[in-house]
Amino acid sequence: MLPREHGAYGQLLFPLVTALAIGRPGVAALTLSAAAVFAFLAHEPLLVLLGQRGRRAAQEQRSRAWRWFAVWIVAALACAAVAIASMPVDARIGLSVPGVLTLALAIVIAARHERTTAGEILTTLTLSSLAYPVALAVQAPSRAAVTLAAAFATAFVAATLSVRAVIMCTRRPPAALSRITAGLALVVGILGLAALWRLGLAAGVGSWAVLPVCGVGFVLVLAPPSATRLRLVGWTLIAATVVTAIILIAGLRLSS
């Protein structure tokens, strides 16, 4: 009983792994990352219990869903307790960011709006924000933590809107509004990262790191492929995100 949204695995793991790689991961960072993974795994049984995987699944898999939901939530809470007890004060404060976003996401899930554009964007922001406290837990500077969270948020929102534009272009061509929205989001995201750098809140490498994903996004918006090629699109975005993560790790480690 694992989450079916395969893209969400990358949105969870890339920020966590990158955050761990820019510092010295200890008990706090590792247990916090584990707590995030266990909470993520609880998503699928929760959807079954809420009836969002269909009435048949809710009836036939209810007991199994309760069992796995309890296992993952208990594991997540146990790891979170260890992490909070062992992390520095600034990392504890940093937990408020993903905490608030997670609460908002839980409300969206309960309201059955997770699959909307706004719901998917909130999901990407929530998962990206995990990089912030984890980076602080590995004793990375605050600017590095902000850079990671902001860069992955920009990249994942760009990818989400670009893929949605491709799907809409297949269903209702030319899908001008979806494509324009995605294109504007790409530009605003890059400019936002540049503004954070100018204000001294983030490192300049963030703006460069998102270019691979945003570049793919621009291509998808300008020349949308058929929705039948979404698998290729997905793998291309994953490859671009790998490059983004490498640039962030190299840039932030060199500047520390």
Question: What is the percent of the chain with per-residue pLDDT over 90, rounded to a whole number?
Answer: 77
Task: Taking residues 165-169, report their average pLDDT.
Answer: 92
At residue 196, the pLDDT reads: 96
So what's the pLDDT on residue 248? 97
Q: Is the pLDDT of residue 85 over 80?
A: yes
The per-residue pLDDT of the chain, averaged, comes to: 92
* DSSP output for 204-255: THHHHHTHHHHHHHHHHHHS---GGGHHHHHHHHHHHHHHHHHHHHHHHHHH
**pLDDT, tens digit, for every residue of 96-105?**
999 999 999 9
Question: Who wins on pLDDT, 254 or 71?
Answer: 71
Span 104-128, pLDDT tens digits: 999 999 888 988 999 999 999 999 9
Q: Using an 8 Å Cβ cutoff, are 158 and 186 in contact?
A: yes
Q: What is the pLDDT of residue 58?
A: 65
Q: What confidence tens digit (pLDDT) does each residue in 67-84 have?
A: 999 999 999 999 999 999
Closest CA to 245 of 4, 7, 8, 17: 17
Q: pLDDT tens digits for 188-243?
A: 999 999 999 999 999 999 999 999 999 999 999 999 998 788 889 999 999 999 99
The answer to whether 205 touches 255, Cβ cutoff 8 Å, is yes
Q: What is the pLDDT of residue 1?
A: 65
Tell me what pLDDT residue 188 has: 95
Mean pLDDT along residues 146-158: 96
Residue 147 has pLDDT above 70, yes or no: yes
- The reported pLDDT for the residue numbered 19 is 97
pLDDT range class, residue 256, cuts 50, 70, 90:
low
Percent of the chain scoring above 70 in pLDDT: 97
pLDDT tens, position by position, 21-70: 999 999 999 999 999 999 999 998 888 888 887 777 667 778 888 999 99
Confidence band (pLDDT; 50, 70, 90) for 2?
low
Which amino acid, 88? P
- The yes-or-no verdict on residue 165 having pLDDT over 80 is yes
